[in-house]
Amino acid sequence: MKTFAYKHDVRMREADLAGHVFYPNFLAYTDDARHHHFKNLGYDLERQKKEDFIFVVAEVHGFYLKPAVFQQDLYIYMRFEKLKSKAMKIHHVICTEAVPDDKKNLELSEYPSICQHGETVMVGVSLSQKKPTTIPEGFAPLF
């Protein structure tokens, strides 16, 4: 599986009074990373809407291992796994240190300085029919 990377700098509004990232923000970081990867594939939200297709979140799991803090660089690494023709699972880790390119083939659980990890199951949906539909071929480079 390919590994996609995204860097995020923790902003003040994302932290509590102690300077720790408020836990729901980790999900926002993975959403930002996912949208960034889709945009790089040429499948931003506007194109998805034009093609009557969008991904919706069906399930989310997250595990928090240590805090992230204000002004810290976070590195989000994702791998996409196709689940049949209409769904995919995104595995992710959020690290406080960058992973060198020669180490990105490791299992995600072996990455250094993980502060949060989890997975999201997403289903492709037709906007007009409001029901699951096949993932377009344009997303094939993810898998």
Whole-number percent of the chain with pLDDT over 70: 100
Torsion sign over Cα 129, 134, 137, 138: positive
Nearby residues of 96 by Cβ (< 8 Å), 6 or more positions away: 66, 68, 72, 73, 74, 75, 113, 115
Question: Which value, in Å, is the radius of gyration of the alpha carbons in the chain?
Answer: 16
At 53 the pLDDT is 93
Task: Kindly state the average pLDDT of the residues 3-20.
Answer: 95
54 confidence band (pLDDT: 50, 70, 90) = very high
Task: Kindly state the average pLDDT of the residues 70-95.
Answer: 95
pLDDT at residue 72 above 90?
yes
For residue 7, the cross-strand partners are 75
Cβ pair 122, 43 in contact under 8 A: no
pLDDT at residue 1 above 80?
no
102 confidence band (pLDDT: 50, 70, 90) = confident
pLDDT at residue 31 above 80?
yes
At 108 the pLDDT is 85
Cβ pair 110, 126 in contact under 8 A: no
9 confidence band (pLDDT: 50, 70, 90) = very high
